[in-house]
């Protein structure tokens, strides 16, 4: 992407080298040019880098001693000099204003208005009238009057090009460019100045040709004389310029520049939301292809935007697994007086959960930036016994508020974890304690219930298994928990996968890993396996299929299916939030696949390796 850090910094280095060269050539090698133009070129090179350097060499750098006078004569070079002069002032005003108003958090529309005024004012009052007053009649007032119209026309054309680029690059995709603290801001300004320079150039050529603006000139330090070239004008009256233009001509050109400016602002106003400020979008990076309209609110953009990789607190290599059993601390607590008047002690299982930003490796060489419970995806497995009183202390180390919902459990409403409905969300840095009795045996799970479209899609979920009080419900040899997830990762940025334009996932994980890095599961012929499918994912229905023979669906959503109603199937549709417990028998030796039957979900970013990818694992059955 054009706003990638490496690209941006490479540009800054090139621009820095270009500035050094131009400054050296102007002041050390002493290009025979007026001091104000030397500063103009240096400023332009700060903004336009190597582009300005090329223009300088082609139009104004004296090729060989004594040749400057002849070299700069062509009208196209004169027009270039006039544009440099105009843009140096305007761009300085615009960029200074942009940095200040962005820091103030004003909406983009107001930004543009203030930037236009500042650019025009700086260009006119400082760069034209003040620095050029000797050439325009000798007094500041006279210079101001004669340069007002030419400066205004040039400014309109410059702003038309620059504002279009700024709004497109700032609001279009990478909102870091709205924040002056980010290098992307300065890079976008540079790109805007380059385009503004190009759109302002034709009108500057015209203005010079009509005798309304100065072009380039030769100033020899030894003679102190300025010989200045005015193409198409044979009248030399000292430094005075004489306009050749008629009033109708000037009117037409003025109208053209105003229309250009309006177009340059109206087109972006239809494409992006110009009412947003840098604060509204806070450096958000949007997924490529995401549809954004001129009424997309900043809140929606923040929700769909990438996780800032700078917030990563822990990097998990491929070998680190999720769904690791979480051991509780057991405390004895006096539960008050019982009916008989005696004080009985009740034990509480205390679990600690902490949500934070981690880098999670889903596949060899493929990382995502995830929101994780206890630095793992899926979050740690909570396994308790029916009737246990459990306390869950949840600390939020995310950059945004969160909560946890205990999916499927019957519990007090205030423990249900629905943020903003049954509890205030847990703010960053805060801890909230949930406590309830796990009264139903079965397969459950927990997940964030504060902006789950973003947070659950980024990894905030985990298995919650409640074993029956009287021991395991099924006489099986082995057990396997399967948690599904969809991811969207592009160019090093992880976005919450969403079932909408630009938000579709390109990676899929089974227990936090993609095939071929999902671990194989070892079994012996004849063994029975209880598979607990958990719909921890957000977007699709995954038809989960096991090769090598059917399975029996024994529980759905944590509740046993009566014997007579049990289905024997080989594929079961696991929708978001659902659980299916199935018993599969290892009938024959070999490598039997367990996978989602939507083949795209068996790929990694569209690729297949070692026979597939994504939602796929091997049940390795031996004699």
Residue 535 Cβ, how far from Cu ion at the closest point, in Å?
A: 11
Residue 538 Cβ, how far from Cu ion at the closest point, in Å?
A: 12
Per CB under 5 A, which region of 23-31, 440-448, 459-467, 601-609 contacts Cu ion? 601-609
CA torsion angle for 454, 400, 173, 309 (degrees, to 10)? -100
DSSP-derived letter for residue 122 is I
Per CB under 5 A, which region of 12-20, 322-330, 433-441, 599-607 contacts Cu ion? 599-607
Residue 506 Cβ, how far from Cu ion at the closest point, in Å?
A: 13
Query: How many residues of this chain interact with Cu ion, rule: CB under 5 A?
Result: 4
What three-state secondary structure class fits 383? strand
Contact call for residue 532 and Cu ion (CB under 5 A): no
Q: Residue 463 or 482: which CB sits closer to Cu ion?
A: 482
Per CB under 5 A, which region of 72-80, 139-147, 446-454, 537-545 contacts Cu ion? 537-545
* Alpha-helical runs (H) found in 292-380: 298-304
- Give the pairing of strands 616-622 and 521-524: parallel
Cis peptide before 378 (omega within 30 of 0): yes
User: Of the candidates 206, 215, 189, which has an alpha carbon nearest to the alpha carbon of residue 257?
Assistant: 206
Q: Residue 451 or 489: which CB sits closer to Cu ion?
A: 489
Q: Residue 361 or 539: which CB sits closer to Cu ion?
A: 539
Q: Residue 410 or 575: which CB sits closer to Cu ion?
A: 575
Q: CA-CA distances (angstroms) from residue 131 to 32, 117, 153?
A: 17, 19, 19
Q: Can you tell me which of 467, 528, 598, 609 binds Cu ion, judged by CB under 5 A?
A: 598
Q: Residue 449 or 542: which CB sits closer to Cu ion?
A: 542
- Write the interaction track for Cu ion spanning residues 434-473; mark x where CB under 5 A is met and - where it is not: ----------------------------------------
Instruction: Report the C-alpha gap between 383 and 387 in whole angstroms.
Output: 12
Residue 614 Cβ, how far from Cu ion at the closest point, in Å?
A: 8
Residue 203 Cβ, how far from Cu ion at the closest point, in Å?
A: 58
Instruction: Report the C-alpha gap between 205 and 235 in whole angstroms.
Output: 19
Instruction: Report the C-alpha gap between 605 and 586 in whole angstroms.
Output: 32
H or E stretch including 444?
strand 442-448
- Write the interaction track for Cu ion spanning residues 491-530; mark x where CB under 5 A is met and - where it is not: ----------------------------------------
Residues 361-380 that bind Cu ion (CB under 5 A): none
Q: Residue 367 or 601: which CB sits closer to Cu ion?
A: 601
Per CB under 5 A, which region of 100-108, 421-429, 542-550, 575-583 contacts Cu ion? 542-550
Q: Residue 123 or 459: which CB sits closer to Cu ion?
A: 459
Residue 531 Cβ, how far from Cu ion at the closest point, in Å?
A: 16
Instruction: Report the C-alpha gap between 323 and 483 in whole angstroms.
Output: 9
User: Of the candidates 131, 599, 608, 594, which has an alpha carbon nearest to the alpha carbon of residue 363?
Assistant: 608
Residue 540 Cβ, how far from Cu ion at the closest point, in Å?
A: 5
Residue 323 Cβ, how far from Cu ion at the closest point, in Å?
A: 19
Residue 602 Cβ, how far from Cu ion at the closest point, in Å?
A: 8
Q: Residue 94 or 618: which CB sits closer to Cu ion?
A: 618
Instruction: Report the C-alpha gap between 41 and 36 in whole angstroms.
Output: 9
Contact call for residue 601 and Cu ion (CB under 5 A): yes
* Angle (nearest 5°) at CA 245 between 241 and 248: 150
Contact call for residue 542 and Cu ion (CB under 5 A): yes
Residue 360 Cβ, how far from Cu ion at the closest point, in Å?
A: 20
**β-strand partners of 329:** 350
Q: Residue 186 or 515: which CB sits closer to Cu ion?
A: 515
- HSE (CB half, 13 Å, CA atoms) of 381? 19
Residues 500-516: b if buried by 16+ CB within 10 A, e if exposed: eeebbbbbbbbbbbbbb
Residues 567-596 that bind Cu ion (CB under 5 A): 596
User: Of the candidates 100, 282, 274, 287, which has an alpha carbon nearest to the alpha carbon of residue 171?
Assistant: 274
Q: Which residues bind Cu ion (CB under 5 A)?
A: 542, 596, 598, 601
């Amino acid at each position: 992407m054009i706003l990638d850090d490496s690209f941006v910094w490479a540009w800054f280095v090139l621009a820095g080298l270009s500035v050094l060269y131009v400054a050296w050539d102007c002041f050390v090698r002493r290009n025979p040019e007026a001091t104000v133009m030397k500063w103009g070129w240096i400023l332009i090179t700060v903004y336009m880098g190597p582009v300005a350097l090329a223009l300088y060499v082609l139009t104004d750098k004296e090729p060989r001693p004594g040749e400057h006078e002849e070299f700069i004569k062509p009208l196209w070079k004169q027009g270039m000099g006039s544009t440099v002069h105009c843009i140096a002032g305007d761009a300085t005003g615009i960029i200074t204003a942009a940095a200040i108003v962005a820091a103030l958090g004003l909406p983009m529309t107001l930004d543009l208005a203030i930037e236009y005024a500042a650019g025009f004012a700086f260009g006119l009052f400082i760069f034209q009238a003040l620095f050029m007053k000797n050439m325009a009649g000798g007094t500041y007032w006279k210079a101001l009057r004669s340069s007002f119209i030419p400066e205004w026309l040039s400014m309109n054309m410059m702003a038309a090009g620059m504002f279009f680029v700024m709004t497109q690059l700032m609001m279009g995709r990478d909102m870091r460019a709205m924040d002056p603290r980010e290098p992307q801001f300065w890079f976008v300004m540079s790109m805007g100045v380059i385009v503004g320079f190009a759109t302002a150039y034709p009108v500057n050529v015209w203005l010079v040709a009509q005798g309304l603006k100065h072009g380039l000139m030769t100033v020899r330090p030894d003679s102190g004389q300025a010989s200045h070239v005015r193409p198409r004008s044979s009248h030399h009256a000292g430094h005075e310029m004489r306009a050749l233009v008629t009033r109708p001509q000037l009117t037409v050109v003025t109208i053209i520049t105003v229309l250009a400016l309006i177009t340059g602002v109206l087109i972006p106003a239809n494409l992006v939301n110009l009412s947003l400020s840098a604060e509204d979008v806070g450096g958000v990076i949007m997924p490529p292809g995401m549809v954004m309209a001129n009424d997309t609110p900043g809140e929606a953009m923040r929700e769909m935007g990438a996780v800032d990789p700078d917030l990563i607190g822990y990097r998990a290599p491929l070998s680190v697994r999720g769904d690791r059993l979480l051991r509780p601390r057991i405390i004895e607590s006096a539960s008050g007086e019982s009916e008989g008047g005696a004080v009985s002690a009740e034990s509480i299982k205390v679990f600690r959960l902490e949500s934070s930003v981690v880098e999670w490796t889903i596949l060899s060489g493929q990382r995502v930036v995830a929101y994780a419970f206890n630095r793992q995806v899926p979050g740690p497995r909570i396994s308790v016994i029916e009737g246990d009183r459990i306390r869950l202390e949840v600390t939020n180390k995310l950059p945004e508020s969160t909560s946890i919902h205990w999916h499927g459990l019957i519990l007090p409403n205030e423990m249900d974890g629905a943020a903003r409905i049954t509890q205030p969300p847990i703010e960053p840095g805060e801890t909230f304690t949930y406590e309830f009795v796990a009264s139903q045996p079965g397969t459950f799970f927990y997940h964030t219930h504060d902006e789950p479209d973003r947070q659950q899609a980024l990894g905030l979920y985990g298995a919650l298994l409640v074993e029956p009080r009287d021991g395991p419900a099924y006489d099986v040899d082995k057990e396997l928990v399967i948690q599904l997830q969809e991811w969207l990762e592009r160019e090093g940025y992880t976005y919450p996968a969403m079932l909408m334009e630009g938000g579709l996932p390109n990676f899929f994980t089974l227990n936090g890993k993609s095939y071929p890095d999902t671990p194989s599961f070892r079994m012996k012929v004849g063994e029975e396996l209880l598979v607990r499918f958990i719909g921890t994912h957000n977007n699709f229905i995954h038809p989960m299929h096991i090769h090598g023979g059917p399975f029996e669906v024994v529980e759905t959503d944590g509740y046993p299916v009566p014997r007579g109603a049990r289905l024997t199937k080989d594929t079961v549709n696991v929708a978001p939030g659902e659980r299916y417990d199935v018993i599969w028998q290892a009938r024959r030796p070999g490598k039997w696949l367990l996978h989602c039957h939507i083949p795209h979900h068996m790929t990694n970013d569209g690729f297949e390796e070692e026979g597939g990818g994504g939602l796929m694992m091997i049940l390795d059955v031996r004699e």
